[in-house]
Amino acid sequence: EGLGELSRGEPVPDVEIPDISVASMFDYTNRAEQAKAVKEYFETVGVHNAIQASGANLVKMQYGNGASAFVAADVQSVPQILQKVASEGVLTRVNILLPHDVASEEQVAELMQEQKPEMEASEMQKVSFTLLAEGKVPVYLTYSRSVEFEEDKGWHGTEPALCLQLELERMCNFEMQTVSRAPANAFQSGTPDYRLQVLYAKELGDQAAARGAVDVRLFVRAAVYNSSFFLAHNVEPVAACPGSPRLKRSSSFSAFEGEQRPSGISESNVLVDMMRNLELAIGKHAATSNSFFVNLVSASPADMEAAEATVAYFVRHFMPDLARMKVSTIEVKVAGGRILAYNPAGSRFKVERHTDDEISGESEHPYPVLNRMQRKKMAAQRANSTYVYDFLEIFEDLVTRNDPTHYGGMSGAGKDEPAFRATELVVNAEGALEEARRPAGNNDCGMVVFRCWMRTPECRSGREFVIIASDLSFQSGSFSPREDVVYFKALELCMAEGIPSVYIAANSGARIGLNEEVKKKLQVAWVDASNPHRGYEYLYLSDSDYQALSAQVHAVKMDVAGETRHRIVDVFGGCGVECLQGSGMIATATSKAYEDTVTMSYVTGRSVGIGAYISRLSQRIIQHSEAPLLLTGAAALNKVLGRQVYSSNAQIGGPKVMHHNGVSHEVVTNDVEGCTAILRWLSYVPAKKGMSLPIYPSSDSVERRVEWIPPAGPYNPREMLAGGMVDGEMRRGFFDDGSFTESLSNWGKTVVTGRARLGGLPVGVVAVETRTQERVVPADPGFVGSTVQVMQQAGQVWFPDSAYKTANAINDFNREGIPLFVFANWRGFAGGQRDMFDEVLKYGSYIVDALRTYKQPVFVYLPCGGELRGGAWVVIDSTINPDMMRMYTSENAKGNVLEPEGIVEIKFRKPDMIKMMKRNDAKYAAMEEGSAEAKSREKELLPIYTQLAVNFAALHDTPGVMKQKGVVTDIVPWATSRTYFYKAMRERLAEVALSKGMSTNNPNLTKAQKDAFLVGELKEVVADLSSGICGMSDVRIDSFMKSLSAQYIAESVTAMPLEAVIAGLLKDHTPEQLVAILQSGKSSE
């Protein structure tokens, strides 16, 4: 990342200036024209109201900040100017304008070498030269004290006055290179509206690399002379705003997409132009902690309020783009003060005001290089991630925004508590988790754990979850036994308490390493010491080295020509197989945790090897769009293959692979979206395993009708679930408005899975895609001749991938403890040769396995116009899990083994149709059988009777038939299905909760006995539970469960021999105590 590489790129464009008369500027015979020309020149570079003075053979322009410009006729007059300035000791910066035809760059360099001693002895900080010529681009040279009055490359090519306005002196801790300069945006009366410059900066010093990640940034700086191009307004600037020759005015920024465009910031705003230039610069020069600086040159103190509002408006509306381009600071200089917006964690900008006493444009307030914590953050940013401790701030910000106390309805002590708390946990010397007592960022292990509590709309009393996160800034986030133990202990905590675990995956797999101490002492026994190409015999340690390192190696002692050597056999230490053993341990723990609690992973930065495995074993994966999930990196694979096959890790494990093969459930574009997805996912699951469902407050009444009606042809099932537009009008769907969240959207596309809410209650959803979908298998560059395969998949059909997707989704919902809705509309399974080879039979069987063990209510519903046939019915029939599953149908759905046309081909063939003709067609009945006349009549009537046969077969598929045969519980009209199923779900949840309580207190109860209690003694309790009048802690339920427990104990004791009962009692009681117990029992009776 050295700056020397920049000079080999494209030339940096110089700033265009209006036509001025250079000859007039240096014409001392006409002082009036000269003064006018000089004034015009300085106005073109943004210097206004400069004080002008003329003397013998020179013109002086004083423009503040201890800076003045002098117009000199030739090089020979420059020493006089410098000596005069040095002797006065007032000015610290001078800019000398010279005609280029009589002053070359070489002459200026020689002059400064001569003047260097005098400059070093003076108060001078900067000496600049501007070489002007008619029709040519000006040449700007600056010599600085900071580089011992050699040319300052950071100022090269930039007008000195603009350098002051851009406050380049504050960048003295960096080596700078100009990446681009945007021309003046527009000219009004010869004055630019603003000037803009992008600088690539790298920290100075030989020890930069030793501090950690080298501080490399992009600084985008602008001097604004027309404040209307910065201040937010609802009206576009009046003047035309032509764009830079290298930049188009059309923006790709997210804030300008869609209908909700920001009205206060136009595309001609200088801040938007700065983003355009930064985006171009990032394409060539990757950098983090990038910075914006705007100097409102013409602003007054009265503009401070408007400028602050503009910055706040800008960072709010353009946050995704600023985060993507890694902008960490925006500074705006307004007369007498500054506005500073900074983004410490990546979630949001904080806007503050400062005075010029706190921050000035002078070198005494330089931009500091990054400190230790900031370098850790930069290391994470370079991997397109967020520093591990900054995730807490993102979560806190997101939770606080949705804190239910902000919306009323909550009082008491809890209202004043913060909405989010996090405690870091560490493994102590005894191997147990305890609260960490150290500042953030002082971790000595690459795995950190946070126990988090938050107050959310669905859990107003609060809920907990555990964040387990790899620290990319510590050994690249790799796994050693120490990291494995921390991860393992955190999962143990989650399983013991039944709280969700969230793994933030940003790692580089199992740690590898060599024994560095042995490595430094290693010696080689050559076959021929004079010719290393003949090879070597062995590696060894000298006798003295072996004595110091004997515990770290296994070696064989040798005597070679009087020298004692120790031939190395084994080298202990380093990192190797022990890391793999630890990886096996945490893989097992993650697999078990998936069964015992809710586990999910957020892949950010990258996740490699064991990091990828435990992400997958958690089953629920959210993936950053630029974070690969892979086993082996592209570079390693290319080395194995012996050629450059893969160009990047994203090609192997990016979202285009992992989101299309069912590994990643959801893809996000930044870490804020990732944390939002985590919180949204958690909102659907109970606070702890086994607890009641969280109820999200919703204004969408369960009594409303389902407005969106499935059409006769193919349609988007997501509109059935969440609502959609019909004839320009929004029609609401089955679930609560805005509650449906799809998962695995790019895999197994003939099935739609996700989570939604009905009346605020979370449910899992499986629906059917009725439109034809494409399955794309990418070509593998590692195999010659491999090509992209595109396969068409018909709607309403289970294919191998969609069947597997269905089973996986059901398993996830089951372990999350939420009810399941299956909108059944399948015609069957794909059974072609390819599908059978791809194991459609196996994956279809997985659906049965998943439903058989489901522990929450399952509602299978044939929606309006839906149909369920053959094997598709078999794998979701309610008899698979009669305790939990119920089937329902809408008023016009269909169900049977085959479609009517198929049944007619088998069960209503031509002979049967001819018999029906004889019964229903008198003309045909009168004809002689087998005659030509009869055959003609048969041919004429056969199409009609085929339709009649199909219609007859279809009458066997109706909802009435399903209800009569007892295969469905009820016929539920589509329009009122939302209300019906909400009440049914509440009732079933109450029944299931009571049934589980009965089984816990008396395991001997049969299903028939429990059902009898539910419709008998507990009937009123079921109604109260389902309506929300009471909870499971109700005194009636408590009393009933105690009676069941007592009954179970009595039954257990009764079944035991009397001698065994007495012997058991005598183990814990003396005979006298038993007598006393019996007597007390009699007295109580």
Render pLDDT for 607-630 as a digit per residue (tens, 0 to 9): 999 999 999 999 999 999 999 999
Q: Return the residue matching tokens 């944390």.
A: 675
Instruction: Name the residue with higher pLDDT: 64 or 438.
Output: 438
Tens of pLDDT, residue by residue over 27-54, are: 777 777 777 787 777 777 666 655 565 5
Res 950: pLDDT:
92
Tens of pLDDT, residue by residue over 974-1013, are: 999 999 999 999 999 999 999 999 999 999 999 899 999 9
Tens of pLDDT, residue by residue over 423-434, are: 999 999 999 999
Task: Quote the CA–CA distance of 400 and 675 in Å, as a whole number.
Answer: 13
Q: Where are the beta strands (DSSP E) in 73-158?
A: 93-99, 126-132, 139-144, 150-151
Res 399: pLDDT:
94
Other beta carbons within 10 Å of 542 = 14
- Cα dihedral 471, 475, 480, 485 sign: negative
**In sequence order, what are the residues at sequence separation of 6 or more whose Cβ sits closer than 8 angstroms to the Cβ of residue 704?**
732, 978, 979
Is 90 exceeded by the pLDDT of residue 244?
Answer: no
Q: How far is CA 1001 from CA 678, 997, 1030, 1040, 1044, in A?
A: 36, 6, 20, 10, 6
CA of residue 311 relative to chain centroid, distance: 25
Confidence category of residue 408, pLDDT binned at 50, 70, 90: low
Task: Quote the CA–CA distance of 579 and 610 in Å, as a whole number.
Answer: 10
Mean pLDDT, residues 502-527 taken together: 93
Query: Which residue from 314, 317, 342 is spatially nearest to 327, judged by alpha carbons?
Result: 342
Tens of pLDDT, residue by residue over 816-845, are: 999 999 999 999 999 999 999 999 999 999
Res 257: pLDDT:
54
Is 60 exceeded by the pLDDT of residue 250?
Answer: no
Is 90 exceeded by the pLDDT of residue 524?
Answer: yes
Instruction: Name the residue with higher pLDDT: 262 or 794.
Output: 794
| Half-sphere exposure at residue 532, Cβ-oriented, CA atoms within 13 angstroms | 1
441: left (phi over 0), alpha (psi -120 to 50) or beta: left
Is 90 exceeded by the pLDDT of residue 5?
Answer: no
Res 1: pLDDT:
36
Is 70 exceeded by the pLDDT of residue 70?
Answer: yes
Instruction: Name the residue with higher pLDDT: 329 or 170.
Output: 329
Kindly state the percentage of the chain with pLDDT values over 70: 89
What are the tokens at 272?
Answer: 């938007």
To the nearest whole number, what is the mean pLDDT of the chain?
86
Other beta carbons within 10 Å of 82 = 22
Res 18: pLDDT:
46
Tens of pLDDT, residue by residue over 638-662, are: 888 888 888 889 999 999 999 999 9
State the amino acid at position 856 in one-letter form. Answer: Q
Res 297: pLDDT:
87
Confidence category of residue 496, pLDDT binned at 50, 70, 90: very high
Please report, in angstroms and rounded to a whole number, the separation of the first and last CA atoms in the chain.
Answer: 91
Phi, psi of 769 (to 5 degrees): -85, 125
Is 60 exceeded by the pLDDT of residue 256?
Answer: no
Mean pLDDT, residues 860-869 taken together: 95
188: part of which helix (H) or strand (E)? Answer: strand 187-188
Res 19: pLDDT:
57
